Structure 1
Amino acid sequence: MAMIWNVADSDSQTEASSSIRRHFPRLHCSCRYAFMSDSSTHRNATTAPDNDADPAVYEPPRSIAPTPQLSTRGLFVALATVCFVPLFGLSIYAVIFGKASEHGLPVEILIDRRPLMTVEGNSQMMDDVVVVTNEADFEIPNLTMNLNGQYFLYQDKPLAVGETLVLRQAAFATKSSQFWVPGRYPITEITVTGKLPTGARGVKEVQF
């Protein structure tokens, strides 16, 4: 009897539902639409991403500032500055501290052959010499002489007023201690430098 009652009850519910659909079709559609909307809203709410959970994912793209670029004119100016500024500085240095700032040295320079005492000191022999005479009214210390810009000789004693210094050419030597051999090469120039009373360096250069 229970089973028969359940079947009858189910039939009566089906007939009631059919009767509601026949007499109130709009109400049935509205209820069904509301149920579907609630389900869709619940599903969207369940699957929607949580923006607060990871804000870096949805961060808007950052603006990139333009990088500075050197134009052709700027590059030319930069190269010219790098090339000419050091040359200009070296030119100024040469004018102030270099040979352009040197003063004349009042001496007389000669190449000659004169009799000199031998090493034994008991006789004299003709030898090739360089003769330097002080023509100034002051003595000249720090006297340095060189032949052809390569062979040097330094005089420790200051050259007194009117004094004449006679030096063997064979006494001149290079920085590597190679001595000048008279007659092997011609002397083309002799340069004599010394200290002036003002403290500046005086130079006398003679071409042969």
Structure 2
Amino acid sequence: MNRLAVYCGSSPGADPAFAAAARALGIEMARRGIGLVYGGGRLGLMGIVADAVLSAGGEAYGVIPQALIDLEVAHTGLTELHVVQTMHERKARMTDLTDAFVALPGGIGTLDELFEAWSWNALGYHAKPFALLNVGGFWDNLVELMDHVMESGFMSPARRAQLLVASDIGEAIDKLDAAAGAERRMVW
């Protein structure tokens, strides 16, 4: 795995463990030579993970809509900053630039990005794996909901199994790295 897209909050969240995890993820990515692909912001967990990657000698590729640059939230010290016009273009460019996806804690934007990556995988637009980094149990309720969706007959067990979950950074990266090498086609 050469590059990992990280979806996460544009705020640091209420629990200091979220920022600590973002920092540790960035450092571990740089240590392993994995470039960061992310939303290009300087605020919140997004800025923390980018700063950690860069401080540890890694590469950070941001993708940001012009409207957010106009609001002065873009990170100006990245390896590359790709400017797009829409959020749809942002997600498509991030998908093109990455080998896998991981979600740290975040809000509706993080969920939107995660579910779009999953949907695009289901439709065969890409075969890239995705995972939740379950910091302090943040994603427990979402995992439970996805199990409920599967048990209710709206998702196959194989599709549900695609959503990798790890509470440890090394475990998350290892799972994604292993899955990135295994292309698989699945049906709902």
- Pick the structure with more helix per residue: 2
The structure carrying a bigger strand percent of its residues is: 1
- The higher radius of gyration belongs to 1
**TM-score between both structures, scaled by the size of structure 2:** 0.21
**Taking structure 1 as the reference length, what is the TM-score of the superposition?**
0.19
Flag the structure with more relative contact order, 1 or 2, with Cα contacts below 8 A and sequence separation at least 6.
2
